[in-house]
């Protein structure tokens, strides 16, 4: 690697940087290299969306308390926690209809997903004889 007109050995430079970080306690242990075995399989969208709808169907269930603020972050979290504790009854009342609606949406999506899967299976069954007839006609030569 060439830096400012001088040849610098990259491995030596990296070793020095790692040593300085290790001395300060900032060096994290190296991660194992990712292999193709650790790759997750592709997500089936109908199932994924149904699980997401089930997970978030209850609009009265609060998300975890979090803040992006630095110094006043704890005060903000305390205010959020206090608000939730004192107003949860009103929150539940306000979102009761939303919870019912979300349940209907989830059930409708499940029914539509089941119908889509059934139709895909039916289309595959209908295409199977056509594909087999194409293969058999392609193997026979037509007289000219």
pLDDT digits 0-9 by tens, 59-99: 888 878 887 777 788 888 899 899 989 998 998 898 899 98
Confidence bin at 118 (pLDDT 50/70/90) = very high
CB contact at 8 A, 67 and 77: yes
Judged by average pLDDT, the poorest of 25-39, 85-99, 124-138 is 25-39
The model's pTM: 0.50
pLDDT(121) > 90 = yes
CB contact at 8 A, 117 and 44: no
Give residue 82's pLDDT. Answer: 93
Q: What is d(CA 87, CA 95) in angstroms, rounded to the nearest whole number?
A: 12
Cβ neighbours for 109, distance < 8 A, ≥ 6 positions apart: 49, 50, 53
pLDDT(129) > 70 = yes
Helices (H), the chain: 10-24, 45-55, 73-94, 96-139
């Amino acid at each position: 690697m060439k830096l400012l007109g001088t040849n610098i050995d990259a491995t030596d430079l990296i070793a020095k940087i790692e040593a300085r970080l290790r001395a300060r306690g900032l060096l994290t242990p190296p991660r194992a290299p990712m292999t193709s075995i650790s790759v997750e399989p592709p997500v089936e969208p109908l199932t994924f969306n149904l699980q997401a709808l089930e997970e978030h169907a209850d609009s009265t269930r609060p998300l975890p308390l979090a803040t992006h603020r630095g110094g006043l972050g704890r005060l903000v979290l305390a205010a959020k926690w206090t608000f939730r504790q004192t107003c949860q009854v009103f929150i539940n009342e306000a979102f009761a209809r939303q919870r019912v609606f979300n349940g209907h949406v989830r059930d409708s999506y499940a029914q539509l997903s089941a119908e889509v899967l059934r139709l895909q299976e039916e289309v595959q069954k209908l295409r199977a004889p056509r594909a087999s007839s194409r293969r058999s006609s392609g193997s026979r030569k037509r007289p000219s």
